[in-house]
């Protein structure tokens, strides 16, 4: 007994079998995770190394190079990017997508441990974090209260930060704004020399008097007691009572030569929200963590903190999970809209509610059953899997329609319902299996894609495969059973004005199609020539640049970031004034809800702003119009500052991530050994980019050096005065930066935190060169001055050194306007080949350009593989080597409509539209399969090829038009969507709609012409 007969004869049994999948699918539905995009294996690791007091060159030579030498041999390492800055090195390790993140982390830790002994003693312990150093926070929170900023900062750094870091998925929480507290020991320089003391002596004495040490245990007959030395400072007043021993053996009170006080340290950063002072908390997630889950955990901790600290105000400025929730909600709406519009079309075509009900039961049944396999495969609800579901509505409808339409035809021949259901299903069985298996093999190659795009689209393709296989099962079982039950009284003719009009329309369409088909078959050469000219003309739109190409479509996520940089050497107050001016303008923009500003921190001439807008539906202007206004204001009013605006685009497959400059659309690495040559090449490249239409915000990471006082020691004088470079270094560095002398533990005035005790010369931050020469230096029991053993010169020192894969590098970047990325890159590449860079300097593209090349190559390979698999499958089903070739003509015929629709809707060729071509290969082939399958069936019954083609065309015209129209209508809500996240889906939907329409029209005429030619001129006779 075949499965269709079993389903018709055992309706309760087959219903329960289907319900089993539905119930398990619903059970799985509530356990499937939610995220914007599928989890990506993106093994990024950042290594931060602090080297107090070191210059940029020292950091590069003593820290970066030894670490690079050890790390470069790690397995699966794709790129190593190192940035040396004063007192700090940052190394970013990027592994390929085949790497296991946990193993890579262990290997990196082992490599650092091996090289640790080779690093200078003053280097602090390297810190490894599992995130890209260029990543942007998933949440930004402002903290306000009616307390001094130092108190709010203390609470945020000591309590709030630690609580948020406990949330699952959080890798780091950065605290910005506010002030640090310190116990300042400000030493009088002249008295230091008078009493023959050094800063190092003072710092060591203060630290040595601040002890808490165990001294063992004492025992009595009945108990054991611990003995400990408790000599820790309880307040700043106790530090004032410290005495110092000078070289003459006298005891000098600390207060005699220094002032001791608890105070806010010098401001090195500012934070504001909507113009009010605030502390900022930036929450970063692990590279492999789920954004939605991470944000939920953080929000749970924030709610708890708000209950515990009601006097503090926690303002969530940005929250990436909001956009994700909205985008997924809108994708689901598009899915349901597609189902409803499909139902309306089916109602008109199938003449009434019975057939419509049968199809409308088949669609959700297949989708719900798919949840079970998605859960078992570890998939999540994300843009990709939901997009796959939205686009496969047409496939699901197709299977049910083909069966129902054929059953309906058998009912009209007067057969009993059960017989009509079984025979109608069996007659179309081979074609249905061919159609479904073609869909399956079309999407299987996506599973073999290994790059970032492959990881994102794997869930998309396999979700369609799962749903399609369930649809095939439903069309063999539930659909025939429902048809037999719903039409138990036969297919009674329907009456009514609408149905009469539909009947007349269909009859007219069939008659006209027959006439056009006979005429096309009679003039085959002319038709084929016309179609070929149209195909070549359409495809030529790509190389001609009429249809642009880019990596990913831009997305409006109601959020943008602004980076402000002043000339090197500008102080924090100057930078803050510029940020404040820009902040005041941004707050006048009506669409802005929050503006969060961070000034300083890592550099005094740098600041960053995060701006949150109202939702996309609540404003008339796009984010690009708003950001262009900000750019224009900055260009007019802040010409002396470098202001760059980034629209946040977290949905672009991890590539364009707002503030992460390393993922700019245009990014070029210049590589070489000579910094002067690199600087010349950078200037040349920026000038070239400025002459290319469509580029904006061109910049380089090279900065003119920061003003510095350079100390050059005289070694002969060092020998004469019996002192050393180490003594000079301690005196010089300690005098300016200050020397840490331990901590004041559990400081009640600092929220119970340990407060640093810092010893430095009074007024040192305002020293001139003449002041520096008078800094005392210890020399064999006596004091000399810095000017006695060294000379001080004013100069310029490097801001930072970037190295890529062990070579010095400069990075040149640019954003693009409305011009497609591929056009800009092609023009740039040709100009660079004409204008030679300085000798020894090479270049390579990075960012979106590199990902675009990789992804395009992978998708084209997948497309070729899918075509090959489809051909092999059809050859097996038809037992013919040439029939599949005829059927596969549907794809080039579909290309005509796809490319024209991309042109008319102003969309580009991007990763999404390329995958759309892959999907189209499976969808458009259905029409050719239906037509050829019935033609071969009729020829098997004795008809000539000509008459079989005409008859098959007339018979299959209705189901072909029905399936095409339902798929087109089902995808229209996706193509026309204007809500959050719609930008990524639109280009794919238009590719499919255009491909289906053009392929349907041309398939009905071109495939019969080609089939008739091969029938009259068999290939085997060509060589006789």
Q: What is the DSSP letter of 62?
A: I
- Give the domain CATH number at 940: 1.20.1640.10
pTM given for the model: 0.70
- Alpha-carbon span 551 to 853, nearest angstrom: 9
Asked if 225 contacts 217 with a C-beta cutoff of 8 angstroms, the reply is yes
Q: 610-623: b or e for each residue (b if 16 or more CB lie within 10 Å)?
A: bbbbeebeebeeeb
Instruction: Characterize 330-363 residue by residue with b for buried, 16 or more Cβ atoms within 10 angstroms of its Cβ, and e for exposed.
Output: bbeebbebbbebbbebbbbbbbeebbbbbbbbbb
Residue 232: strand, helix, or coil? coil
Which of 610, 631, 647 is the last residue in one of the domains? 647
Nearby residues of 769 by Cβ (< 8 Å), 6 or more positions away = 709, 792, 794
478 and 530 inside one domain = no
Which of the 8 DSSP states describes residue 290? -
Residue that finishes a domain, picked among 600, 621, 647: 647
381 vs 389: CA distance, rounded Å: 10
Residue 64 within any structural domain of the chain? yes
Final residue of a domain: which of 617, 647, 677?
647
Residues 499 and 444 in one domain: no
pLDDT in tens, 253-272: 888 888 888 877 777 788 88
| pLDDT at site 979 | 66
Which portions of the chain are predicted below pLDDT 50? 1, 133, 652-662
CA 555 to chain centre: 12
pLDDT at 21: 92
How many Cβ atoms from other residues are within 10 Å of residue 16's Cβ? 11
**To the nearest 10°, the Cα dihedral for 486, 492, 497, 502?**
80
Does any domain span residue 155? no
Are 1005 and 964 found together in one domain? Answer: yes
In the 8-state DSSP scheme, what is residue 352? S
With tokens 């984010």, the residue in question is: 623
- Cα–Cα distance measured from residue 660 to residue 619, given in angstroms and rounded to the nearest whole number: 26
Q: How many CB atoms lie within 10 A of CB 20?
A: 12
Question: Where do the H-state alpha helices sit in 879-910?
Answer: 883-887, 890-904
Residue 801 within a domain: no
Q: Cα 74 to chain center, whole Å?
A: 25
- Which residues have a Cβ under 8 Å from the Cβ of 386 and sit 6 or more positions away? 328, 331, 332, 335
Q: Is residue 461 part of a domain?
A: yes
Q: Which H helix or E strand runs over 46?
A: strand 44-50
Q: Would 451 be classed as within a structural domain? A: yes
Closest Cα to residue 524, out of 1017, 1020, 1019? Answer: 1017
What is the model's pLDDT at position 404? 77
Q: What is the pLDDT of residue 247?
A: 64
Same domain, 374 and 462: yes
pLDDT score for 755: 80
Reported as half-sphere exposure (CB side, CA atoms, 13 A), residue 42 has a value of: 24
Burial degree of 297 (CB within 10 A; 0-12, 13-18, 19+): buried
Q: Same domain for 980 and 893?
A: yes
* Residue 108 lies in domain: 42-127
> What is the structure's pLDDT at 25?
92
Question: In this structure, are 446 and 507 located in the same domain?
Answer: no
CA distances from 628 to 633, 634, 697, 860, 1017 (A): 9, 10, 11, 36, 63
Partners of 744 in the beta sheet? 755
Burial class of residue 580, CB neighbours in 10 A (0-12, 13-18, 19+): middle
Cα gap 695→821, rounded to integer Å: 9
Whether residue 610 sits in one domain with residue 484: no
Query: What's the pLDDT at 663?
Result: 54
Say if 524 falls within a structural domain: yes
What letter does residue 581 receive in the DSSP assignment?
Answer: H
CA angle 70, 76, 80 (to 5 degrees): 50
Q: Please state the φ and ψ torsions of residue 480, each to the nearest 5 degrees.
A: -60, -40
Domain match, 919 and 975 both: yes
* In a shared domain, residues 1011 and 884: yes
> How many domains, in total, are found in the chain?
5
Strands (E), 616-716: 642-647, 666-672, 695-700, 706-713
CATH code of the domain containing 630: 3.30.70.1430
CA-CA distance, 632 to 645, in Å (whole number)?
11
Would you state the pLDDT for residue 618?
84
User: Can you list the pairs that 102-105 forms with residues at least 24 positions away whose Cβ atoms lie under 8 Å?
Assistant: 104/43, 104/45, 104/74, 104/75, 104/76, 105/45, 105/130
User: Which residue's structure tokens are 């093994």?
Assistant: 43
What number of other Cβ atoms are within 10 A of residue 726's Cβ?
8
Report d(CA 48, CA 643) in Å as an integer: 27
Residue 737 · residue 848 · CB < 8 Å: no
- 287 occurs within a structural domain: no
| Cβ-based neighbours of 469, under 8 Å, separated by 6 or more | 436, 440
In the prediction, which pLDDT does 20 show? 93
- H-type alpha helices, 116-248: 149-155, 161-165, 189-194, 199-208, 236-240
Q: Which two tokens stand for residue 413?
A: 């021949």
CA dihedral 683, 684, 688, 690 (to 10 degrees): 20
Matching residue, tokens 């890209």: 132
Structure tokens, 92 = 């970013």
How far apart are the C-alpha atoms of 947 and 883, rounded to whole Å? 18
**Closest residue by Cα to residue 461 from 861, 851, 862:** 862
Instruction: Answer yes or no: are the C-beta atoms of 348 and 506 closer than 8 Å.
Output: no
Residues 187 and 119 in one domain: no
Query: 531 and 603: one domain?
Result: no
Q: Residue 108 half-sphere exposure, CB side, CA atoms within 13 Å?
A: 27
Q: Are residues 592 and 488 in the same domain?
A: no
Assess if residue 357 is contained within a domain: yes
């Amino acid at each position: 007994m075949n499965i269709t007969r079993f389903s018709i004869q055992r309706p309760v049994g087959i219903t329960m079998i289907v319900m089993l999948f539905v119930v398990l699918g619903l059970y799985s539905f509530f356990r499937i995770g939610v995220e914007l995009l599928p989890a990506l294996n993106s093994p990024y690791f950042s290594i931060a190394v602090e080297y107090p007091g070191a210059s940029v060159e020292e950091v590069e030579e003593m820290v970066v190079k030894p670490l690079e030498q050890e790390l470069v041999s790690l397995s699966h390492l794709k790129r190593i990017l190192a940035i040396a800055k004063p007192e700090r090195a940052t190394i970013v390790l990027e592994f390929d997508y085949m790497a296991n993140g946990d193993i890579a982390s262990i290997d990196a830790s082992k490599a650092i441990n091996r090289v640790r002994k080779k690093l200078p003693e003053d280097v602090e312990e390297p810190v490894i974090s599992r995130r890209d150093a260029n990543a942007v926070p998933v949440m930004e929170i402002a903290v306000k209260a009616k307390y001094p900023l130092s108190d709010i900062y203390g609470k945020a750094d000591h309590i709030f930060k630690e609580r948020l870091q406990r949330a699952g998925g959080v890798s780091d929480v950065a605290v910005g704004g506010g002030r640090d507290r310190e116990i300042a020991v400000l030493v009088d320089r002249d008295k230091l020399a008078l009493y023959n003391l050094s800063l190092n002596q003072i710092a060591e004495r203060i630290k040595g008097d601040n002890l808490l040490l165990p001294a063992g245990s004492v025992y009595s007959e009945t108990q054991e007691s611990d003995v400990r030395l408790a000599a820790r400072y309880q307040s700043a007043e106790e530090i004032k009572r410290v005495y110092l021993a000078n070289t003459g053996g006298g005891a000098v009170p600390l207060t005699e030569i220094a002032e001791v006080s608890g105070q806010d340290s010098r401001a090195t950063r500012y934070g504001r929200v909507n113009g009010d002072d605030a502390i900022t908390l930036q929450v970063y997630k692990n590279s492999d963590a789920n954004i939605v889950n991470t944000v939920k955990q953080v929000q749970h901790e924030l709610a708890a903190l708000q209950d515990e600290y009601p006097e503090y105000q926690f303002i969530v400025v940005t929250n990436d999970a909001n956009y994700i929730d909205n985008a997924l909600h809108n994708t689901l709406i598009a899915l349901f809209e597609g189902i409803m519009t499909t139902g309306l079309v089916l109602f008109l075509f199938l003449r009434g509610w019975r057939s419509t009900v049968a199809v409308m039961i088949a669609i959700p049944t297949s989708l719900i059953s798919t949840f079970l396999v998605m859960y078992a495969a570890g998939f999540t609800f994300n843009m990709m899997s939901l997009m796959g579901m939205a686009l496969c509505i047409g496939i699901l409808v197709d299977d049910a329609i083909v069966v129902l339409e054929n059953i309906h035809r058998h009912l009209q021949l007067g057969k009993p319902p059960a017989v009509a259901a079984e025979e109608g299903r069996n007659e179309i069985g081979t074609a249905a299996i061919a159609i479904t298996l073609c869909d399956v093999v079309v999407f299987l190659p996506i599973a073999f894609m290994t790059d970032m795009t492959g990881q994102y689209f794997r869930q998309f393709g396999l979700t369609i495969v799962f749903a399609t296989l369930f649809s095939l099962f439903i069309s063999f079982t539930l659909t025939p059973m429902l048809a037999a039950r719903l039409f138990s009284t036969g297919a009674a003719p329907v009456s009514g004005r609408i149905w009469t009009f539909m009947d007349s329309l269909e009859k007219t369409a069939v008659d006209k199609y027959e006439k056009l088909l006979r005429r096309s078959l009679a003039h085959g050469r002319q038709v084929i020539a016309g179609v070929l000219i149209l195909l070549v003309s359409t495809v030529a739109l790509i190389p001609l640049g009429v249809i642009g190409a880019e990596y990913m479509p831009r997305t409006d996520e109601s959020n943008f970031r602004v980076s402000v940089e002043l000339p090197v050497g500008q102080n924090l107050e100057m930078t803050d004034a510029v940020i404040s001016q820009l902040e005041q303008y941004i707050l006048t923009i009506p669409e802005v809800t929050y503006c969060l500003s961070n000034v300083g921190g890592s550099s005094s001439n740098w600041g960053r702003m995060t701006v949150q807008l109202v939702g996309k539906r609540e404003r008339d202007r796009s984010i690009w119009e708003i950001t262009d206004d900000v750019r224009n204001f900055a260009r007019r009013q802040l010409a002396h500052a470098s202001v760059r605006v980034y629209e946040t685009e977290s949905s672009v497959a991890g590539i364009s991530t707002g503030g992460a400059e390393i993922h700019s659309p245009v990014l070029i690495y210049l590589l070489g050994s000579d910094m002067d040559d690199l600087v010349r090449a950078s200037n040349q490249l920026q000038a070239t980019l400025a002459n290319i239409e469509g580029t904006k915000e061109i910049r380089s990471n090279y900065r003119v050096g920061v003003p510095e006082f350079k100390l050059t020691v005289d070694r002969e004088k060092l020998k004469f005065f019996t002192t050393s470079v180490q003594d000079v270094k301690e005196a010089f560095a300690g005098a300016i930066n200050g020397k840490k002398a331990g901590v004041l533990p559990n400081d009640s005035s600092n929220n119970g935190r340990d407060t640093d005790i810092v010893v430095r010369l009074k007024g040192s931050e305002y020293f001139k060169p003449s002041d520096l020469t008078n800094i005392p230096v210890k020399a064999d029991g006596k004091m000399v001055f810095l000017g006695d053993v060294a000379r001080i010169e004013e100069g310029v020192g490097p801001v930072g050194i970037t190295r890529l894969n062990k070579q010095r590098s400069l990075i040149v970047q640019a954003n693009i306007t409305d011009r497609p990325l591929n056009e800009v890159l092609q023009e740039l590449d040709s100009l660079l080949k004409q204008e030679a860079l300085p000798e020894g300097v090479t270049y390579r593209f990075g960012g979106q350009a590199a990902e675009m090349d990789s992804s395009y190559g992978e998708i084209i390979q997948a497309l070729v593989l899918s075509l090959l698999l489809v051909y092999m499958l059809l050859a097996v089903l038809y037992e013919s080597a040439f029939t599949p070739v005829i059927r596969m003509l549907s794809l080039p015929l579909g290309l005509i409509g796809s490319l024209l629709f991309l042109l008319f809707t102003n969309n580009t060729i991007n990763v999404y539209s390329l995958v759309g071509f892959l999907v189209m290969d499976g969808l458009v082939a259905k029409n050719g399969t239906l037509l050829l399958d019935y033609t071969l069936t009729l020829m098997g019954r004795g008809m000539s090829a000509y008459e079989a083609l005409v008859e098959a065309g007339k018979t299959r015209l209705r189901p072909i038009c029905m399936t095409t129209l339902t798929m087109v209508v089902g995808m229209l809500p996706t193509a026309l969507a204007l809500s959050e996240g719609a930008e990524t889906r639109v280009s794919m939907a238009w590719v499919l709609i255009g491909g289906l329409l053009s392929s349907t029209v041309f398939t009905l005429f071109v495939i019969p012409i080609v089939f008739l030619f091969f029938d009259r001129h068999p290939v085997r006779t060509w060589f006789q």
